[in-house]
Structure 1
Amino acid sequence: MTKGEQALNEREIELQEQMQEVLKKGPRSGQEIQFMTDLAFIDVFRLERLPKGFKMPPIEQYNGKADPVDHLETFKSLMYLQGASDTIMCKAFPSTLKGSARQWFSHLKPLSLSKFIDLGRAFLTNFMSSRIHKTTAANLLAIRQQAREIIREFLTRFNKEALEVRDLDLMVKFQALSSGIRDRKLKESLIMEEPVDMCDLYSRCEKHINLAEVLTVEQERELRIERKGQDRKEPPVSKNKPKENREQREGKRRRDDRAWVSRSDVKPELAYTPLTHRRAYILNEVKDRLTIHWPTKMVKPASEHNKNKYCKFHQDHGHDTEECR
């Protein structure tokens, strides 16, 4: 036997002897083993047992990286639902921690916690840097409807932000939504007849949304029908003649619509003071106050009228009120 083999055998015999000594001594008693999970609590908490039938509610363990307020509020809600006492909440909370959060709790000063509010305050103080910034009432008042954002998308975004504001006053929410709306027609409606409360404001917005969606569908359907009719009527384009683009065709259509205005309504154009409101708005305001001589119907056949345009003065399709001459 070589010297190396002899030394290996001696080491093996030595390890076997050590194992036999450990087995002879037996395991330590529960009093000799120190657990770090409950040293921070006072003796009364450590000695109290869990009530019969108590089950720890399922909750995601906190590792120190997420929002501590969200974790603490979730834990309290679940424990209150089970009617857990302050002592049980203290004993159960360490089981919802892991990683760096678990290490933080194990290093708390022994016998330093006598109630759950002290534990919650220490927890929030230590992990405050991980807290997610919450939306405030000032942030909500700064929200505005964007240029190409429809009112439904704006309401969805506004409600999502409003849910992030804690203890939001309904009057502040009402003012924020009212000032944030930029849709012209809805804004005019809210100014002419102010909503009574938040429920009325939401109801008005919902009616406007439904009306806008219905009109959009109708306009798209009429536009498809009009395009099909134009495709059938348009003669084949000559190879030598350049094809007209869409803007040129729309310009001709507008001139044709104006050409069908009744001759009795045609008057020489004069220089007037520029209007401060749209013609449709002015007509709507004065129609019941003044005696207006309404014009006769336009002579252009109704089948050739542009259904996408309506004149409130002639009360007929063919051109817009703003284009009326």
Structure 2
Amino acid sequence: MLSFTPFNGDSDPESHLKHFKSVMILHKADDALMCKVFVMTLRGAAQNWFHTLPSGSISSFKELSYIFAKEYTSYRTIKKNPDHLFNLRKKSDQSLRDYIKRFKAEKANIVGCDDRIASFAFKKGLPAEHDLYRELTIAPNQTLVEVFATAECYALWDDDRIAAKKSTKQEDQPTKRAGQKSDGFGNRNKDKRRSHPKEDATAGENYTKFSIPIHQILAQVKDKPWLRRPSPVKGDPDKRDTRKYCAFHGTHGHTTNNCFSWKTHLQELVREGHCTEFIAKQAIQRIEDRDTTKEPP
């Protein structure tokens, strides 16, 4: 006896017909047998429907398939087209691996989806500031298999980053409790020694003055080979201020203009002879005066 998935009248009739034909492929030539065995797969309301058909009204399995699909047409699954993939977006609180799994699952439901469309839709679903988006833009002629292979490499790094953040959070909890101080009103303040980049950015008044905001400088030099990437921001990403975004770190929590790491790195670049075209005239004069008096930098 062959094993069939029963049809109760509340699912896609086209899917059930495909399943039945696949199991009966060895007996497909016998039309009468196909009709009789198909009736055995019906259950409940579907079985009752079959017995309402007039005796002798079915002359072939093709005719039975047509009547069956027409009866349960309201349960047919609407097939998605490739354009559906462009609706997928990687959420800010979603890991790269989860986005890859969700995209692959949605693509699997689209029959005959062109790989080039899928590759483009996968990239468009990533945030423009994501490192993988940049990688796929630089090498746009990758096949879909190559795109997924590249994405899996980035997902491994993303998994390690998330695991490191969780580990750091667990290690920091006792330190934070020990570093809290009472303000006399029953409230406790966090240890100032564990500061966030956006707080550190307010310190230090001796930065070189530039003619344009430093976030605009980053936008103009972000593709330069001498620009070094920063270390990931510590802390729980779910607790960051999503209204503020740092293009240097590629994450939320603080703005680019208030980024301590970007300010520090920008000073290093200036000392190395880069980004000098953005220095304000007053700052250039101060640097020249300082060099004249031989002040230590």
Question: Which bin holds the TM-score, normalised by the shorter protein?
Answer: 0.5 to 0.7
1-structure distance, mates of 2:80, 2:39: 30
**The 10-residue stretch of structure 1 (209-218 or 102-111) with the greater mean CA deviation from structure 2:** 102-111
Residues 138 and 109 of structure 1: CA distance in aligned 2, closer, same or farther (over 3 Å): farther
* Pairwise CA distance, 1:115: 2.7
> 2:195 corresponds to which letter in structure 1?
E
Correspondence 1:209-228 to 2 at 5 A: 209-221=155-167
1:269 aligns with one of 190, 195, 209: 209
Correspondence 1:91-106 to 2 at 5 A: 91-106=36-51
Q: Is the 8 A contact 2:7 2:46 kept in 1?
A: yes
Residues 207 and 277 of structure 1: CA distance in aligned 2, closer, same or farther (over 3 Å): farther
Which structure has the larger Rg?
1
| Structure 1 position 320 matched with structure 2 position 261 | yes
Residues 112 and 251 of structure 1: CA distance in aligned 2, closer, same or farther (over 3 Å): closer
* Pairwise CA distance, 1:64: 1.8
> 1:144 corresponds to which letter in structure 2?
R
- Secondary structure of 2:24's counterpart equals helix
> Hey, what does 1:278 align to over in structure 2?
218
> 2:15 corresponds to which letter in structure 1?
D
> Hey, what does 1:185 align to over in structure 2?
131
2-structure distance, mates of 1:125, 1:96: 17
Q: Is the 8 A contact 2:82 2:117 kept in 1?
A: yes
Identity of aligned residues (%): 20
Q: Is the 8 A contact 1:278 1:322 kept in 2?
A: no
> 2:142 corresponds to which letter in structure 1?
V
* Pairwise CA distance, 1:160: 2.0
* Pairwise CA distance, 1:197: 0.5
Gaps of 5+ in 2: 235-247, 249-259, 268-297
> Hey, what does 1:64 align to over in structure 2?
9
* Pairwise CA distance, 1:226: 6.8
Residues 221 and 141 of structure 1: CA distance in aligned 2, closer, same or farther (over 3 Å): closer
2-structure distance, mates of 1:270, 1:282: 14
Q: Is the 8 A contact 1:195 1:201 kept in 2?
A: no
Residues 90 and 224 of structure 1: CA distance in aligned 2, closer, same or farther (over 3 Å): closer
1-structure distance, mates of 2:232, 2:15: 56
> 1:76 corresponds to which letter in structure 2?
K
> Hey, what does 1:287 align to over in structure 2?
226
2-structure distance, mates of 1:274, 1:155: 34
Residues 89 and 188 of structure 1: CA distance in aligned 2, closer, same or farther (over 3 Å): same
TM-score (normalised: structure 2)? 0.63
1:242-275 CA-partner distances (Å, limit 9, x unpaired)? 743267851699649965x9xxxx5652433665
Q: CA RMSD in A?
A: 4.0
| Structure 1 position 199 matched with structure 2 position 139 | no
2:109 aligns with one of 149, 164, 167: 164
Q: Is the 8 A contact 2:27 2:34 kept in 1?
A: no
Correspondence 1:142-153 to 2 at 5 A: 142-153=87-98
Number of paired residues?
A: 238
1:30-67 CA-partner distances (Å, limit 9, x unpaired)? xxxxxxxxxxxxxxxxxxxxxxxxx3x12233232222
> Hey, what does 2:287 align to over in structure 1?
none
| Structure 1 position 79 matched with structure 2 position 19 | no
* Pairwise CA distance, 1:200: 0.8
Residues 237 and 91 of structure 1: CA distance in aligned 2, closer, same or farther (over 3 Å): closer
> 2:117 corresponds to which letter in structure 1?
V
Correspondence 1:112-151 to 2 at 5 A: 112-151=57-96
> 1:271 corresponds to which letter in structure 2?
S
Gaps of 5+ in 1: 1-54, 289-305, 312-318
2-structure distance, mates of 1:63, 1:238: 67
> Hey, what does 2:292 align to over in structure 1?
none
TM-score (normalised: structure 1)? 0.58
Q: Is the 8 A contact 1:222 1:308 kept in 2?
A: no
2-structure distance, mates of 1:194, 1:148: 26
> 2:143 corresponds to which letter in structure 1?
D
2:120 aligns with one of 167, 175, 186: 175
> Hey, what does 1:108 align to over in structure 2?
53
Q: Is the 8 A contact 1:64 1:127 kept in 2?
A: yes
Q: Is the 8 A contact 2:183 2:189 kept in 1?
A: no
Q: Is the 8 A contact 2:176 2:190 kept in 1?
A: no
2-structure distance, mates of 1:68, 1:96: 12
